Amino acid sequence: MTQTHKKLFVKTWGCQMNVYDSNRMVDILSSLGYKPVDTPEDADMMILNTCHIREKATDKVFSELGRLRPHKEAKEEKGEKMLIAVAGCVAQAEGDFILERAPYVDMVFGPQTYHELPEMVLKASGAERIVNTEFPTVSKFDHLPEQHTIEGASAYLSIQEGCDKFCTFCVVPYTRGSEYSRPAQEIIDEAHRLRDQGALEIILLGQNVNAYHGIGPDGTTWGLADLIRKVADIEGIERIRYSTSHPRDMDDDLIFAHGEILKLMPFLHLPVQSGSDRILEAMNRKHKADLYRDVIERLRKARPDIAFSSDFIIGFPGETEQDFEDTMQLARDVKYASCYSFKYSARPGTPAANLQAALVPDHIASERLSRFQALINEQQAEFNKTCEGLVMPVLFDRKGKKDGQLSGRSPFFQSVYVQGNERLIGNIIDVKITSAFDNSLTGDIVIYDDEAA
For the chain, give the number of residues: 453
From 305, 376, 373, 371, select the one nearest 335 (Cα to Cα). 376
Q: Give the span between the Cα atoms of 389 and 290, in whole angstroms.
A: 34
Q: Which residues contact 210 (CB under 8 A, 6 or more apart)?
A: 224, 242, 245, 246, 249, 250, 251, 254
Closer to ligand SF4 at the Cβ: 167 or 237? Answer: 167
Contact flag: residue 167 with ligand SF4 (CB under 6 A): yes
CB under 5 to 8 A by kind: which of ligand SAH, ligand F3S, ligand SF4, none does 173 bind?
ligand SF4
Interaction of residue 54 with ligand SAH, rule CB under 6 A: yes
**Rule CB under 6 A: is residue 243 a binding residue for ligand SF4?**
no
Asked whether position 180 contacts ligand SAH by CB under 6 A, the answer is: no
106 three-class SS: coil
**Minimum distance from CB of 90 to ligand F3S (Å)?**
8
Closest by Cα among 55, 54, 52, 122 to 85: 122
342 binds, among ligand SAH, ligand SF4, ligand F3S, none (CB under 5 to 8 A by kind): ligand SAH
Cβ atoms 384, 417 nearer than 8 A: no
**What SS3 class is residue 95?**
helix
Partner interacting with residue 251 (select from ligand SAH, ligand F3S, ligand SF4, none; CB below 5-8 Å by kind):
none
Site membership for ligand SAH, residue 347 (CB under 6 A): yes
Q: Does 247 bind ligand SF4 (CB under 6 A)?
A: no
Shortest distance (Å) from residue 175 CB to ligand SF4: 10
The three-state DSSP-derived secondary structure of 340-359 is EEEECCCCCCCHHHHCHHHC
- Tell me how far the alpha carbon of residue 65 is from its chain's centroid: 23
12 in contact with ligand F3S (CB under 6 A)? no
CB closer to ligand SAH out of 47 and 211: 211
Which among 155, 30, 17 is positioned nearest to 87, based on CA atoms? Answer: 17
Does 14 engage in binding with ligand SAH (CB under 6 A)? no
User: Residues 147, 166, 218, 329: which binds ligand SF4 (CB under 6 A)?
Assistant: 166
Binding status of residue 172 toward ligand F3S by CB under 6 A: yes
Chain residue whose CB lies nearest ligand F3S: 14
* Binding characters for ligand SAH, 252-271, by CB under 6 A (x = yes): -------------------x
User: Closest CB to ligand SAH among 176 and 409?
Assistant: 176
Residues 173-232 that bind ligand SF4 (CB under 6 A): 173, 207-208
Smallest distance, Å, CB 445 to ligand SAH? 35
Binding status of residue 203 toward ligand SAH by CB under 6 A: no
d(CA 325, CA 148): 46
**Considering just the CA atoms, what is the radius of gyration of the chain in Å?**
23
In the complex, minimum distance from the CB of residue 389 to ligand F3S, in angstroms, rounded to a whole number: 37
**Residues ≥6 apart with Cβ < 8 Å to 354:** none
Tell me the C-alpha to C-alpha distance, in Å, between residue 110 and each of 90, 94, 95, 116, 447. 8, 10, 8, 11, 50
Residue 215's Cα: distance from chain center in Å?
Answer: 24
**Interface stretch with ligand SF4, choices 80-88, 168-176, 290-298, 416-424 (CB under 6 A):** 168-176
Residues that bind ligand SF4 (CB under 6 A): 163, 165-167, 170, 172-173, 207-208, 246
